[in-house]
């Protein structure tokens, strides 16, 4: 078995096992740490797909920002982090059944992938230069008027709205009379 495939299996095993720990660990704080490990595994998969830019973005956005945000939220709601009561609701067997059925369906389709879409997916195209100029191409694509400039601007507006909105929502209620004085 080639070395790349062994690395792939190790990285995916880390990703999936820590993802399972995220949804099963009773201690929410531990679940958040497992989530960081799972994100790290996904970053490893991006590196295996020869996309270092996405791996770096994954590290910055997910491990750097979103995980810290989640850990802050867990600490602020800490009193409910009891490890004695069940972390699952009453419908968890049905949820597990639905997830397993979906996984079976997806897996049965994916295993026939090579016969369904012949020519794609055996080997990746060898385009060293395309991958090396990927970040440049991405920057051009985000600013060229015939590509993604509108979606890019929409994304920046979305981030601004989310920033303002989350500050407004999370702000404690201020007494209006006290506010006027």
Give residues 108-147 in contact with other proteins (rule: CB under 8 A): 110-111, 113-114, 120-125, 127, 130-131, 134, 137-138, 140-142, 147
DSSP secondary structure, 115-178, as one string:
HHSTTSSSS----HHHHHTHHHHHHHHHH-TTTTHHHHHHHHHHHHHHHHHHHHHHSPPPPHHH
Binding of other proteins at residue 10 (CB under 8 A)?
no
Residue from the set 10, 30, 65, 143 that interacts with other proteins by CB under 8 A: 65
Smallest distance, Å, CB 181 to other proteins? 23
Count of residues interacting with other proteins (CB under 8 A): 90
Residues 36/39/43/45 CA torsion (nearest 10 deg): 130
Site for other proteins in 162-181 (CB under 8 A): 162-163, 165-167, 169-170, 172
Shortest reach from residue 143's CB to other proteins, in Å: 11
Q: Does residue 53 belong to the site contacting other proteins (CB under 8 A)? A: yes
User: What SS3 state is found at 1?
Assistant: coil
Taken as a whole, the chain contains a residue count of 181
Tokens standing for residue 99 = 């997830």
Q: Which of 10, 30, 92, 143 binds other proteins (CB under 8 A)?
A: 92
Q: What angle do CA 133, 136, 140 make, to 5 degrees?
A: 135
10, 16, 30, 153: residue in contact with other proteins (rule CB under 8 A): 16
């Amino acid at each position: 078995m080639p070395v790349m495939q062994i690395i792939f299996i190790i990285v995916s095993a880390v990703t999936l096992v820590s993802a399972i720990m995220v949804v099963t660990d009773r201690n929410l704080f531990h679940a958040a740490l497992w989530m960081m490990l799972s994100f790290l595994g996904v970053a490893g998969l991006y590196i295996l797909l020869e996309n270092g830019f996405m791996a770096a973005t994954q590290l910055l956005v997910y491990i750097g920002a979103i995980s810290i945000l989640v850990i802050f939220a867990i600490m602020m709601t800490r009193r409910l982090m009891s490890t004695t009561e069940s972390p699952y609701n009453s419908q968890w067997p049905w949820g597990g059944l639905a997830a397993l059925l979906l996984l079976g369906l997806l897996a049965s389709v994916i295993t026939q992938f090579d016969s369904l879409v012949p020519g794609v997916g055996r080997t990746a195209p060898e385009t060293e230069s395309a991958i090396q100029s990927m970040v440049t191409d991405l920057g051009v694509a985000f600013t060229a008027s015939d590509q993604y400039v509108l979606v890019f601007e929409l994304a920046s507006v979305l981030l601004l709205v989310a920033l303002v909105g989350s500050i407004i929502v999370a702000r404690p209620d201020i007494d209006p009379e006290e506010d006027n004085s």
